[in-house]
A and B are shown apart, each in its own frame.
Chain A
Amino acid sequence: MLRALLLVCVVLSLALPYALAGDRSLTSFAVYVALAVSTLLIAYTYLRRWAGFG
């Protein structure tokens, strides 16, 4: 499940430019940073289990 979510994050990072095309505010900036933080949190959850301390 978490691995699938990580792959979704990768696909999203490639697809977001289409969704955010034409943006004239800092929305794109904020969305990309939020995506990177979300990816890190999902990865951390997965890695904690893998390492045996989650």
Chain B
Amino acid sequence: MAELVVALAIYLTTVAAVSLYSRLYARTKDPVDYFIASRGLSGFTSAMTYAATTYSAFMMVGLVGLSYATGVGALAFELAYLVSTIAILTIFGTKVWELSRERGYVTPTQLLKDRLGSHWATAVAVALTAVALIPYSAVQMVGPASIIAGMSRGSVDYRVAVTIAFTVTLVTTLAAGVRSVAWSDAVQGLVMVSSATAFIVWLALRTPPEALSRLGDAELLSPLNRFWTPYTFFAYTTPWIFFAITNPQVFQRLYLPRSRRDYVRMVVYFSIFGLVYTVITVLAGLLARGLAELGALDLGVDLRDRSTWNRVTPALLRYAHPALAVAVAVSILAAATSTINSIVLTVASMVSYDTVVPERYRLVVGKAVVTLFSAVIYLFALSTPAFVVDLAVASSTLLLPLLPIYLLSVYGLVSRYAYVSTLAAGFSLALALTYAKGLYLPIPKEVLVATASVATYVAVALLDRAAVGRSSQ
């Protein structure tokens, strides 16, 4: 498929050109500039990198398939995430932005180090984050690479597609750090939303009005149905509504806007992007299902087999004009790489600043870690061992113990004992529940981990505070 090869070449060239151009604005020997652009990004660039980092290949592949199979409950789940993220960015994020300037934070874990006064405690959080996010990044590469390999009918091998994602990750992170990541994210975000818009317009023009009544008949317009029970809804939603706090790659983006005005713009532009992108992807799944119910499309999806739900988008692209199909496929790859490069850079910054690395080696170690993590992700994506897939699925739950730690530290409830016990209890519980397959709990494991982590942190912190108060009397 010559169109695909040309589109991939244009994509790679554009991302590389933008990344290298951004170097002209970078202070290349300054680690603060490398990791957080000296806290000097515009509202628009901050918003686009926030959106492109948050919204991964899951949207155009996973969410379209989920909407197709389960209906409008997928919108309820994804918009619950957006609503809570807007609230977090407004109430909590503004405080974090102010603190990052007052105290000179570069990484999310630096905030913890500052509050707790312990280097070793925060190094544990760095390790936990890497364990959760590196496998997640590797699995992110698999879906888009498979779609591109499938579409090309042999002209682009799966390994070539993974190599392209790896190259984009390396170029965007090494060129000028977060500046090149953010600028290339802005380009990739525009590719994501514009191709998604063209995709939904094409699909809507094909869909007759009677498709909607078929969706109603199949219980797909009700947010609760046979799939979306309250249990499933809260299992899906709980990790996502706290995503802006627990995931360091988005947390660190709160440090980037250069002024309060730019922070406001970041929140507003991100919210508009999120709303548009979410509505488009859910609508795409619903319209495709309506067309399939009418017999107008044969997508080869078995609704009883969840592993086939991700085939909806690639199967739909077979019906689209080649130019549109190629644009959507490249946008899915862009969504994946714009998430992976941010994760790699954030984890590298945490290793550089919050472990035992001496100050003068921060930049060189950061770049070495970026290269090492990118290579590990690349190798995991090529082989996808079972433990990597397990950890990727569990990543959002594994990060939930960080919720009370970040949230309550910012608001002044700080205790080293609470921190250590929450990490130990929450992470062990999350890991145990991940591997305890077949175990039925009366409440979703995600809710259990979040509740246990908050309860542990608050209880131990209050006990610690009481003990300190008693000893000082």
Contacts and interface: CB of A to CB of B under 8 A. Distances in A.
Interface string A1-16: 0010011011011101
Contacts of A44: 264, 267-268
Main secondary structure of the interface of B (DSSP, over half): helix
A42 to B, nearest CB: 8
A33 B222 contact: no
Question: Interface range on chain B: under 10, 10 to 19, 20 to 34, or 35 or more?
Answer: 35 or more
B228 A35 contact: no
A47 B224 contact: no
B237 interface: yes
A40 B212 CA distance: 28
A46 B217 CA distance: 42
Contacts of B325: none
Contacts of A52: 260
Interface in B249-288: 260-261, 263-264, 267-268, 271-272, 275, 279, 282
Contact of A33 (B217, B233, B275): B275
A36 B275 CA distance: 7
B80 interface: yes
Given A17-B233, A22-B222, A52-B260, A10 B279 contact: no
Contacts of B91: 3, 6, 46
A48 B264 contact: yes
Contact of A43 (B87, B212, B219, B237): B87
B264 A35 contact: no
A17 B83 contact: no
A3 B296 CA distance: 47
Contacts of A35: 79, 83
Contact of B230 (A7, A18, A20, A25): A18
B87 A39 contact: yes
B333 to A, nearest CB: 27
A26 B224 contact: no
20 contacts: A3-B91, A9-B83, A10-B80, A10-B241, A13-B79, A16-B76, A17-B233, A18-B224, A21-B223, A23-B221, A23-B222, A24-B222, A29-B75, A29-B221, A29-B282, A33-B79, A39-B83, A39-B86, A43-B271, A51-B260
